[in-house]
Amino acid sequence: MEAPVDERITDEIEALQAILMNDVVVKKVGNVPNIIETVVHPSTGDDVDQQYVCVTLEVMLTPEYPDSSPQVTLRNPRGLSEELLTTIHSQIRNKLKDCLGQPVIFELIELIREYLTQKNLPSGQCVICLYGFTNGDVFIKTQCYHHFHNHCLASHLIADKKNYQEEFDKLPNWKQMEEPPYQQTCPVCRCKMSFDVETLKKAPPPVESTTAAPFILTTDLKALQIGFSKLLAYQASRGGVIGIGDNEPPPLTLTSSSDNDNASSNGLASTSQERRADPAAPAAAPATADGHAPPTNYRGLYRGFRRNTTGRRGRAAR
């Protein structure tokens, strides 16, 4: 028989479901609540499009909860720096100590929401231009919570569609009919998305791109260029670099058994002529009665086999 659930836990879960409704998930083991999970967003009123960061809060209840602290995990952060996550974790530990002996989940949600509201600006860099997000930037949030400058995303989508069309035009007509149409995808996670490129193009470039100091070729960069030049020369000398005008590797040649026989015959004849031209070369052994070259002193895996007159392999006589 299962032990009764603490009334304080039942009241807390009912309150969370009344406030968060479908945004809270309660996982149970039998009839006992085990994990409570919710996605926390910044407070932006009813303007969901202005929520640029979020994080999933997972609270695992211990058997003694709320008289003991639960295990708290922050998963799947979006737009949050490691520094901010470290700060939130520190504040969570302090909150757990202060609220020991009483329900604390809603307090944790409000604590995290307050930090997200203060830092409702994506941290890190735009992966397209590698510039950060600052005040004055015009950026966009995808459905998968990745952030890009509008100007950068427009350039990426234009180039991506151009590459798709170039590869599409190379396909034969029957293959083009089977190829799916072009679909915009997130540059980070490849989730499907849909944006108006013409609208994105109207946005100004990133602020940092216009205020950044001009590029200067430093001594370190010059040394790096010299090192890469030597590496390129070495790779080219070893045949590891496609030269100018070589758009692709040499094609493979498919041959049949008859082609191989003809090639062998031609190779034998040319070898014999070369040997006759070179007095120092040993004389080529005469062909056998069936017209095939005599066996050589082969010591590999298939030694002891010879080709008979019917073209099938047979065991050589010992």
Q: How many beta carbons lie within 10 A of that of residue 133, not counting itself?
A: 21
Same domain assignment for residues 150 and 113: no
Same domain assignment for residues 154 and 51: no
190 versus 52: which is more confidently predicted?
A: 190
243 versus 24: which is more confidently predicted?
A: 24
Same domain assignment for residues 53 and 102: yes
- pLDDT, residue 299, reads 54
Token pair 């005040």 in the structure block, residue: 135
Considering the domain boundaries, does residue 224 fall inside one? no
- pLDDT, residue 26, reads 93
- The pair of structure tokens assigned to 30 is 């039998």
C-alpha count within 13 angstroms, C-beta hemisphere, residue 51: 21
Considering the domain boundaries, does residue 45 fall inside one? yes
- pLDDT, residue 268, reads 46
Which is nearest to 64 in space by CA: 27, 93, 100? 100
Same domain assignment for residues 64 and 113: yes
Give the CATH number, domain containing residue 176.
Answer: 3.30.40.10
Percent of the chain with pLDDT over 70: 75
Longest CA–CA separation in the chain, Å? 105
Instruction: Give the mean model confidence (pLDDT) for residues 176-190.
Output: 92
The whole-angstrom separation of Cα 293 and Cα 132 is 72
Token pair 């002529």 in the structure block, residue: 273
Q: Which of 211, 228, 256 is a domain's end point?
A: 211
The whole-angstrom separation of Cα 52 and Cα 122 is 6
Same domain assignment for residues 22 and 107: yes
Considering the domain boundaries, does residue 82 fall inside one? yes
pLDDT digits (tens, 9 = 90+) for 88-125: 999 999 999 999 989 999 999 999 999 999 888 777 78
The whole-angstrom separation of Cα 318 and Cα 316 is 6
- pLDDT, residue 125, reads 84
Q: Above 70 in pLDDT, residue 212?
A: yes
- pLDDT, residue 240, reads 74
Same domain assignment for residues 23 and 73: yes
Same domain assignment for residues 105 and 176: no
Q: Above 80 in pLDDT, residue 316?
A: no
Same domain assignment for residues 163 and 99: no
Same domain assignment for residues 33 and 99: yes
- pLDDT, residue 273, reads 47
292 versus 51: which is more confidently predicted?
A: 51
- The pair of structure tokens assigned to 278 is 């070179």
Residue 73 contacts residue 92 (beta carbons within 8 Å): no
Instruction: Give the mean model confidence (pLDDT) for residues 244-265.
Output: 59
Same domain assignment for residues 172 and 99: no
Considering the domain boundaries, does residue 221 fall inside one? no
Considering the domain boundaries, does residue 133 fall inside one? no
- pLDDT, residue 254, reads 59
Instruction: Give the mean model confidence (pLDDT) for residues 121-134.
Output: 84
The whole-angstrom separation of Cα 100 and Cα 69 is 6
Which is nearest to 65 in space by CA: 7, 2, 9? 9
Considering the domain boundaries, does residue 251 fall inside one? no
| Report for 234-238, 270-274, 307-311: range of highest mean pLDDT | 234-238
pLDDT band at 243 (very low <50, low <70, confident <90, very high): low
- pLDDT, residue 235, reads 87
Give the CATH number, domain containing residue 25.
Answer: 3.10.110.10
pLDDT band at 275 (very low <50, low <70, confident <90, very high): very low
Considering the domain boundaries, does residue 309 fall inside one? no
Quickly list DSSP for 139-169: EEE-TTS-EEEHHHHHHHHHHHHHHHHHHHH
Residue 26 sits at φ, ψ, to 5 deg, of -115, 115
Same domain assignment for residues 110 and 17: yes
When the pLDDT of each residue in the chain is averaged and rounded to a whole number, the result is 81
Counting the structural domains of the chain, the total is 2
Residue span of the structural domain in which 29 resides: 7-118
Among the residue ranges 9-23, 62-76, 274-288, the one predicted with the least confidence is 274-288
Instruction: Identify the helix (H) or strand (E) that includes residue 234.
Output: helix 219-237
144 versus 166: which is more confidently predicted?
A: 166
pLDDT band at 242 (very low <50, low <70, confident <90, very high): low
Considering the domain boundaries, does residue 90 fall inside one? yes
First to last CA, the chain: 83
Q: Above 90 in pLDDT, residue 289?
A: no
Same domain assignment for residues 59 and 100: yes
Helices (H), 72-149: 82-98, 105-118
